[in-house]
Amino acid sequence: MPLTAFRDRVDIDLGDRSYPILIGTDLLGDFDAFAATPAAATALIVTNTTVAPLYLAALRNTLTARFRAVHVLELPDGEVYKDWATLNLIFDALLRHGADRKTVLFALGGGVVGDMTGFAAASYMRGVPFVQVPTTLLAQVDSSVGGKTAINHPLGKNMIGAFYQPQLVLCDLATLQTLPPRELSAGLAEVIKYGPISDMAFFDWIEANVDALVALDPAALAHAVKRSCEIKAGVVGQDERENGLRAILNFGHTFGHAIESGLGYGEWLHGEAVGCGMVMAAHLSQRLGGVDAAFVERLTRLIERAGLPIVGPALGDARYLELMRIDKKSEAGEIRFVVIDKPGSAVVRSAPDAMVREVLVQCCTA
């Protein structure tokens, strides 16, 4: 299929920090797709041991025509490596190669690679340019867009990081064709969330096309990525640093992050935890009067059809509450949740611990 048949652009409007998201097929080998990349003598591609054998050569060949030197760092793969020790490997590589303030970092991989590369770019010499080249559905529709960068701490997910925007996000849809089914499902969780919080017409479309998405249909994936990026771009453009509106993008994440932290990072994929967390958040939304039981059932069935878990692990309600109090939205020890106040609209609210416990009892294994 010709490249032009699947070339779309979504812009993040942040004044002098604005940048494009390019969505298309076979973009890794397209020199013109990297036109927004800043001029520099050197580049560092940060990737991992899973993605490198698949896509490193194509990206490196393209960048060789733009940079005098293109260096590569392969990190171990997995959420468990989203930590200080692995982050320091990026700094080691930058220093070893004599990287300067114009050196451009390229994050080739999923959310872990993107988050760590962005955090390294924000920190090295107090800020160097970077480009997101996400290769998973989750990264293309969510984590690569909007400038959130972070590493995990044993006590909380993404608690150490910075807001730092890339120069370009390049979503090559061809990379999604090699995604394992579990990784694809994890990405669908972040696609699904945009419906209840912002766009019920998109939710309807996902329901009608979830089987095509699971089957890696290129046209369905192209629409899902583009619409997801449009919604997130609109939110980030209004609230870059999550002082209000942007928090709605964390629908399902307060419960989900507790699952990830409580089980140990990597036991469940981020999207799996978010999918299950959305079920919990929907039940909480019902108890708070925002949606009815039919909506909760509808969302739960869609999450299940996407191949995601709908029953949470038995961490115990006390442990869930302990972990959720560390969430970034918490204020003065009070847990704040993203809940649906009506289908297609979300707000951030607190809820009584007793009500949250009822949700956990209903939604978790005994």
DSSP string, 142-206: IITSS-EEEEEETTEEEEEEEE---SEEEEEGGGGGG--HHHHHHHHHHHHHHHHHH-HHHHHHH
Catalytic entry in 190, 230, 260, 272: 190
Instruction: Say which residues have a Cβ less than 8 Å from residue 97's Cβ, sequence separation at least 6.
Output: 42, 44, 69, 71, 103
In angstroms, the CA 167 to CA 155 distance is 31
- The catalytically annotated residue of 246, 283, 287, 336 is 246
The answer to whether residue 270 is catalytic is yes
Phi, psi of 149, deg, nearest 5: -130, 145
The helix (H) or strand (E) run that includes residue 74 is: strand 69-75
Q: Is 38 strand, coil or helix?
A: coil
Catalytic residue (one of 257, 283, 287, 336): 257
Residue position matching structure tokens 């967390």: 277
Integer Cα distance of 58 and 54 in angstroms: 9
For residue 356, give Cα distances in angstroms to 280, 318, 359. 9, 10, 5
322 is catalytic: no
Kindly name the residue from 60, 71, 82, 148 that is annotated as catalytic: 148
**Of these residues, 60, 82, 232, 283, which one is catalytic?**
232
Q: Residue 48 in contact with residue 42, Cβ under 8 Å? A: no
Q: Is residue 190 among the annotated active site residues?
A: yes
Catalytic site includes residue 305: no
Spatial contact of 106 and 79, defined as CB atoms under 8 Å apart = no
Residue of 183, 250, 283, 336 marked catalytic: 250
Q: Establish whether 148 is a catalytic residue.
A: yes
CA-to-CA distance for 30 and 226, rounded, in angstroms? 19
> How much of the chain is in helix, strand and coil states, percent to nearest 5?
55, 20, 30
Per the annotation, the verdict on 250 as an active-site residue is: yes
Q: Which helix (H) or strand (E) holds 342?
A: strand 336-342
Distance, in Å, from the CA atom of 79 to the CA atom of 160, rounded to the nearest integer, reads 15
Among candidate residues 71, 157, 227, 270, the one labeled active-site is 270
Q: Mind telling me the catalytic residues?
A: 126, 148, 190, 232, 242, 246, 250, 253, 257, 270
